[in-house]
Structure formats: structure tokens, C-alpha cells
Chain A
């Protein structure tokens, strides 16, 4: 690229945001599919969870790509927000942003930071204990200690059953994720140069479906486990 000397060009940056965004959206779809199993069949959920948690390809190829995508997406997102803010030192006395662009498109930093804050909670809830059990303690059996039963479904239920605050925070976060995706899905296609008279409206429609259905699926799972299990 001709602008190599000054780092990535403005187009290079938006393409990176789009590509990491694509991967993260693919990840959401995969994550939801597996989580939905927890509602319908605890054994299948356990088996798939154990596979994902111990398969070398998932653990040492997909997981690093995922971590890289998450970090890149939010670091560059914040960097872009800062740069864009710097491009207009004197602000308008009156700026009617709602006249020409959606709230979602103008506030990706707000929905994005909310999702990032959620990730911290989610890591604390699941990812850190998981990594601790597998790689610090060294127990890769996936079993509840002293039993022959898998621990994954039990752990999930334990986190949500009768935990109103956690369920509330998860639901709120998924609403923010939905707002982020409502702009992000179709924006990713535009960024990589895909814009077509016939297909762009289709992408926008698919984007709206994706942005509502995926978070709604996660919300359903959190509320389901909150309600269903008597303790």
C-alpha cells in the first residue's frame, strides 16, 4: 500500500474492522447454536462443550484467532473513535445527527463498550474458571469431581438459576449487542466494498434478522435457565 509509511490507510482500518467483525459474527452464530443445545438436551450440550473445550484445533487455532479478533476489533474501534473525534477540533453549537443517520450507526462506541464490559463479566463467569480448570489445575476430563458426569451443563445452570442480577446484566448486554449488530452487520459488507442495487437491501434485511435473532436467542437461554431449574 502506498500509505505504508503512515501505517494503515483509512480504508485499511475499516477493512480490518469489517473482517474481524465477520469472524465475531460467525463466532456468535456458533456460540448460540451450541448454547441452544443446553435448553433441549443436556447430554448433547455436555458432549459438544467437551469437544470444543478439548479439541486442539478449536483450542489452539480458532480460540487464538477469536482472541485476536476481539482485541483487534475493540482496540481499533477505540483508536478510530479517538482519531475521528480529533478530525473536528471545534465542535458544532448545534448538530442534528438524528436527521440523517441512525442512533446505532452513530453510537457504535457506546454499544461496543457495553459489549466489552459484558465480556469482562462473561470471562469472569465462564472463561477464566474454564482455563483455570484445564490449564492451571490440569483437569481436562470435563467431569464433575468424583463423578462420571460432565460438568458443563451443571456449571451453566448454576450461573443462571435464581440469579436475577446476572440474568438482568446478560439481557441488557444482549440488547446492546443487538444495537451494535444492527449497524455492524450491513456496515461490514459496505466496508469490504460490497454494495449492489439488488443484494444490498437483502443484506440489510438479513442483518436486521441476525441482529435481533442472535441476541434474542442468548436472552432466551439466560431466562430459560433462570426459571426452569428448582434449587
Chain B
């Protein structure tokens, strides 16, 4: 088992008001089998043992499905491996002696709370503005097969619904645009008959909220779909554009 010694350049910021700065740390004897977050755990144990403040970072399931972990690693959201969240990134992707830059997901709409933890509640507010369907859930549930849905549409809706809302699209976009996230959230309903009831207003309201949160404008660089850990396609952004334009004509 090969072990590595690393230099970490980590963004440290006490709180939202603090200016923050990059700080250098050394970690030694890191196993290549560790996940990136386990490596961060090692660093934090080291910091706690020496009486320092551990680095705050978001994490929850550590299985790549919750969307909690973030981190901008060596200039890329969730690090250098495509289709992967930070928790599923392993230290074998790095080599002994490497210097690793670790920064929070940056966008004005994602303000830093502390160190690498950012406030992504702007996504929640976009979701609340239209990312739902109004159905009665009080016990008289309709049979799942009563509404026929073409397999192709169901698959595309499922692909869009795979978005875990981690914000990598925003973090990686040179414009800090949230259009991949919003495109996915709009698409998963636009493709299904259940989503048609609110379709007229959904794209209008969600785009208005997205703009109000201060995200940038999409310029179709396609960086978001490359960095998305769930492989959400920018065809969802095109669908959002269609939904928005047709909604504005209704």
C-alpha cells in the first residue's frame, strides 16, 4: 500500500464577515485508499490534537448521493475525477508530494459560512418557487400505472431527477450560473404529465428566483455538464429555455 505526503492549500475563513485566506498544511502517510474526506478527517484530527480549529466542510452520506459535500479541488468542482462527488474521490487520484488547492464552491449566491462550508439555500428558494407538483397525498393515492408515460420521457425525467443539488455546476461555471440545476429541476416535471398543471408558471417563477438570487448568466460553455457528478446534460438547459419561452407566450 503506497502512502503519500501532501501539501494542502486550504481556504480558511472564520465566519461570513471574515475576509478569509489560503493557509498551507502538511499531511503525511496518507493512504491511497482513503477518500478525500477521510484525508480531511486526518488533517482535522491533527489540527484538533495541536489545539487548532479544524477545517469546516460539508459532508453527510459519503456515498455520493446526498449532495452535501462540495469543495473546489485543484481548480475543479469535486476534484479531477469526472462524474464523482468529493466523498467518492479517492487519494489514489493524487501522488506523493502533490500540492492540493482546496477552496469552497464560489459564487455570490453561495456565501461562505465557514472555511469550506457555503450556504446553498438559494437552491432551496429556487426549488420552492416552482420545483413541485400540487397533488393530494392524503391517502387516496392513484395507481402508479394509471397514467401512461412513454418510456423515453420517463427515462429523461429520471436522468434530470438524478440532480443532487450539490452546486458543482455553479461552482465550475465561469459565470456562476445555476442554469444546469434549474434546467434539471424544471425538466423532471416538464417531461411528465403530472408536471403539466403548473408548467405555465414553473419556468417563469424558477428563472425569476434564480435571477433574484444573483447567479450569473449562462453562456453555454458546457463546463457544468462535464463537472456534474450525476452527468446531468445541458439538453436540460435547452428544455428550460423552451419552457421559459413558451411559458412567456401563454
A interface with B by C-beta (< 8 Å): 1-3, 6, 9-11, 13-15, 80, 83-84, 86-97, 99-102, 105-106, 108, 183, 186-187, 190-197, 200
Q: Is the pair B106, A195 in contact by a Cβ cutoff of 8 Å? A: no
In this assembly, does B163 line the interface, its C-beta being within 8 Å of a C-beta of chain A? no
The interface residues of chain B lying within 8 Å CB-to-CB of A90 are 20, 106, 112
Contact B220 A193, beta carbon cutoff 8 Å:
no
Min CB gap A208→B, angstroms: 15
Residues of chain B within 8 A (CB-CB) of A194 are 238
Q: How distant is the Cα of A106 from the Cα of B176 in the complex, in angstroms? A: 13
Q: A10-B216, A99-B75 are in contact. List 14 more A-B contacts (CB 8 A).
A: A10-B207, A10-B211, A10-B218, A14-B218, A14-B219, A84-B216, A84-B219, A87-B107, A87-B177, A100-B76, A183-B220, A190-B238, A193-B238, A195-B237
Verify A2–B204 contact, CB threshold 8 A. Answer: yes
Q: Which residue in chain A gives the minimum CB-CB distance to B217?
A: A10
Q: A80 — which chain B residues lie within 8 A by C-beta?
A: 217, 219
The answer for the CA separation of A191 and B80 in the assembled complex, in Å, is: 28
- Once the chains are docked, how many angstroms separate the CA of A201 from the CA of B101? 36
CB neighbours (8 Å) of B217 from chain A are 10, 13-14, 80, 83-84
Contact flags B1-29 to A (C-beta < 8 A → 1, else 0): 00000000101000000001010000000
Instruction: Say yes or no: A99 contacts B76, CB within 8 Å.
Output: yes
The count of residues in chain B whose C-beta lies closer than 8 Å to any C-beta of chain A is 53
Complex: how many Å from CA A215 to CA B71?
A: 42
Instruction: Tell me if B46 counts as interface (CB < 8 A to partner A).
Output: no
- B residues less than 8 Å from A196 (CB atoms): 235
Give the A-B pair count, Cβ closer than 8 A.
Answer: 143
**Complex: A14 Cα to B248 Cα, angstroms:** 15
Q: How far is the CA of A101 from the CA of B216 in the complex (A)?
A: 17
The 5 A-B pairs with the shortest beta carbon distances in the complex, nearest first, are A96-B75, A195-B238, A87-B216, A193-B242, A84-B175
Is B240 in contact with A11, judged by CB distance below 8 angstroms?
yes
Would A91 and B106 count as touching, CB distance under 8 A?
yes
Closest chain-A Cβ to B134's Cβ sits at a distance in Å of: 19
Q: Is A92 in contact with B103, judged by CB distance below 8 angstroms?
A: yes
A192 to B101, CA, bound (A): 37
Q: Is the pair A3, B207 in contact by a Cβ cutoff of 8 Å?
A: yes
Contact of B210 with A by CB under 8 A: yes
Q: Are A11 and B219 in contact (CB under 8 A)?
A: no
Given A183-B220, A195-B239, do A9 and B109 touch, yes or no (CB 8 Å)? no
Residues of B within 8 Å of A99, CB to CB, are: 75-76, 80, 226
Q: Which of B22, B75, B212, B234 has the most CB of A within 10 A?
A: B75
A101 touches B244 (CB 8 A): no
A residues within 8 A CB of B196?
none
